[in-house]
Amino acid sequence: MRASKSLSFERVAMPHLDAVYRVARRLADNEAEAEDLVQEAFLRAFRAFDRFELRTYGAKPWLLRILHNTYYTRRQRANREPTLLDDVDFDCFTGELEPELLERWPDALPDWDAFDGELKNAVAQLPAEYRTVLLLWAFEDLSYKEIATVCNCKIGTVMSRLYRARQILSQRLAAYVAERNLASGSSDV
């Protein structure tokens, strides 16, 4: 029975090990902490495998949710709980965007190869709650609904965090382009 559970868990969960690690690595401060997070998340997942939920979405959102919970439990223990935005409904999501937020986008596109390092730094500096939704959206290509399930929050919250995370990265991008004059000539369109 136990051997059967192990085999089944291995088949369902292990293909997502790298995806879970990628998210953990961006949440953790270093490789060792990321490894530790992944190990604890997979251990929790194995113990809870009999109660495996989220079958509708598959194993990846389920594992990422466990990782997310593991990460936040650790942060709470360390008294470093992040400041979270108030939950907002989907309907009122757009109402809370400041007008000037909509004007901060750069028209010009940068030299992306030169921007990779800057992009990684910008992601690392995002508040943890923004970084999480950005990771799940950009790297794992989850939908708003799946991200809300993983983070256990409302879709409106996912949208507002994602909006702000993208705005912050866009601002960094705009500053980088302006500093190095990397505009590719598309600013005149």
**Binding residues vs another protein (CB under 8 A):** 17-18, 21-22, 25-26, 31, 35, 38, 94, 97, 99, 102, 105-109, 112, 115-116, 119-120, 123, 134, 137-139, 141, 143-144, 159, 162-163, 166, 169-170, 173, 186, 189
Cα(26)–Cα(34) distance, rounded to whole angstroms? 8
- What is the number of alpha carbons within 13 Å of residue 65 lying toward its C-beta? 21
Comparing CB distances to another protein, the nearer of 50 and 100 is: 100
Sequence-distant (6+) residues with CB within 8 A of 82 are 75, 127, 128, 129
- What is the number of alpha carbons within 13 Å of residue 76 lying toward its C-beta? 7
- CA distances for 64 relative to 40, 76, 147, 149, angstroms: 12, 18, 9, 10
Give me the least distance between CB of 101 and another protein, in Å please.
9
Comparing CB distances to another protein, the nearer of 79 and 181 is: 181
Comparing CB distances to another protein, the nearer of 50 and 188 is: 188
Sequence-distant (6+) residues with CB within 8 A of 42 are 13, 17, 20, 63
How much of the chain is helix, strand and coil, in % rounded to 5?
A: 70, 0, 30
Comparing CB distances to another protein, the nearer of 24 and 62 is: 24
Comparing CB distances to another protein, the nearer of 65 and 158 is: 158
Give me the least distance between CB of 28 and another protein, in Å please.
12
**The amino acid at 86:** D
